[in-house]
Structure 1
Amino acid sequence: MTETPVDDRALPPALADIAAVEFDYDDGNGIDFEPYDAFDSAAETTDWLRNWTGNHELDGAAYRVFGQDGTGGLAALWCVRTGRPLVEQPVVFMGSEGACGVVAGTLSDFLWVLADGIGPMEAVEYDDHTGRPDPTLTSLAERHASTPRRSAQAIIADARAQFPTYVEDIDALCR
């Protein structure tokens, strides 16, 4: 019997539900995030990573881009945990002006960050991670999260501790 390959370009159910949410930027007081209803293609992801870094030897195989902020900075699952499903991969953000960082250690934790009113751009570009809890995103996290609720601040700090060299590693790829 032939084994069916896993389609890791299909949005996990939690990301599909996030794509249906209308995020309110609220003149800078809300979440600046525009989720996609599908991952960017492998070719689009490679093109983006090459342009972002200026390094045309790279490919985007390690990333599944699932949304952006208003300036074009991208949120992605970073497939760094070999053999683990997409929902167990960290969420990263790479901004349009060069800021980048790890947002959450897993998709589940990312749901709690959103529930706290913090988007991927805000998690990376701002030091204040106290948000405005959002009832719609809290309900979504309660349905999909496999990790206990923690504050966005704790989740972001934990993710940065898990991947302490992410920013330096990305910077080293830039030309």
Structure 2
Amino acid sequence: MKAFDRKLPPVLARLHCLPFDSEEGEGIDFEPYEQFESAKETTGWLRAWTGNEAVEGGEFRIFGQDGTGGYAAFWLVREGKPLPEQPIVFFGSEGELGVVARDLSDYLWLLAGGIGPYEAVANEVKAGSGKKNTAFTDFAMKHAPEAKKSPSAVVRAARKEFPDFEKTIRALCR
């Protein structure tokens, strides 16, 4: 297992300074991290999640979790591209699994629409779902104005680009 830089990309680090408030089930259920999980912790978690002692966690950078312990992570599948250009995925504590955003810019707009990683995977994201969040909208407008789209469009685009993510991960499970 190869160690990696645990420092978050600057935009993600600034995003994690904003208040994530689940608003008693009506907001975003997310606990952001100040740095990525270590390579050792990531591999240990992926082995536990899949039940497969042979897997390594090197293609994931975990940057936060929901209240039940499900993880949000960058999935490093775009060779040679920086972290902010990698897709964001979610592994739920009860087996929920999915790609939630094509990249960090789209992720910002998912949050702006009041949808977090868990909500994007556990619920059907329809037009108008989610409670808009002014702080996250302002942040997205500042850091990714060119990527502006609805949460449903974010999730749809991610699933269209990475249709085999869930099948790929489930194939690792024992």
What is the percentage of aligned positions where both structures have the same residue? Answer: 54
Q: For the structure 1 residues 168 and 135, does the alpha-carbon distance in structure 2 shift closer, same or farther, using more than 3 Å as the test? A: same
Residue aligning to 1:132:
131
Distance 1:60 1:146, change over 3 A: farther
> In the alignment, which residue of structure 2 is the partner of 1:14?
11
1:35-46 correspondence to structure 2 within 5 Å: 35-46=32-43
Contact (CA 8 Å) 1:68, 1:74: kept in 2 or not?
yes
Partner-residue secondary structure (3-state), 1:24? coil
Report if aligned partners of 2:114, 2:131 keep a CA contact under 8 Å in 1. Answer: yes
Among 44, 59, 67, the residue aligned to 2:56: 59
Give the Cα separation in 2 of the matches to 1:88 and 1:146.
15
Q: Secondary structure at the match of 1:173?
A: coil
The residue type equivalent to 1:154 in the other structure is A
Q: Aligned residue for 1:4?
A: none
Amino acid in structure 2 at the alignment position of 1:172: A
Distance in 1 between residues matched to 2:155 and 2:80, nearest whole Å: 24
Q: Distance in 2 between matches of 1:111 and 1:144?
A: 8
Report the AA paired with residue 150 of structure 1: K
Question: Hey, what does 1:104 align to over in structure 2?
Answer: 101
The match for 1:3 is none
Deviation at 1:39, TM superposition (A): 0.5
Q: Counterpart of 1:76 in structure 2: which amino acid?
A: A
CA 10–37 in structure 1, closer or farther in 2 if over 3 Å, else same: same
Over 2 Å off, 4+ runs: none
Q: Does residue 1:90 correspond to 2:87, yes or no?
A: yes
Deviation, 1:141, is: 1.1
Contact 1:115 1:134 in 2 (8 A): yes
Measured in 1, the distance between the counterparts of 2:84 and 2:29 equals 22
Give the alignment's Cα RMSD to 1 decimal: 1.2
* Other-structure match for 1:144: 143
Residue identity opposite 2:78 in structure 1 = R
Shift of 1:97: 0.3
Equivalenced residue count is 169
CA distance in 2, matches of 1:88, 1:147: 14
Letter in 1 for 2:165: Y
Alignment of 1:27-42 (within 5 A): 27-42=24-39
Counterpart Cα distance in 2 of 1:147 and 1:39: 27
SS in 2 for 1:141: helix
Conserved? CA contact 1:109–1:147, under 8 Å = no
Secondary structure of the residue aligned to 2:99 is: strand
- 1:131 Cα deviation from its structure 2 partner: 1.1
Change (3 A) 1:73 1:83: same
Name stretches of at least 5 consecutive residues in structure 1 with no aligned partner: 1-6
TM-superposed deviation, 1:120: 0.2
Gapped runs of 5+ residues in structure 2? none
What is the rounded CA distance, in whole Å, between the counterparts of 2:97 and 2:25 in structure 1? 19
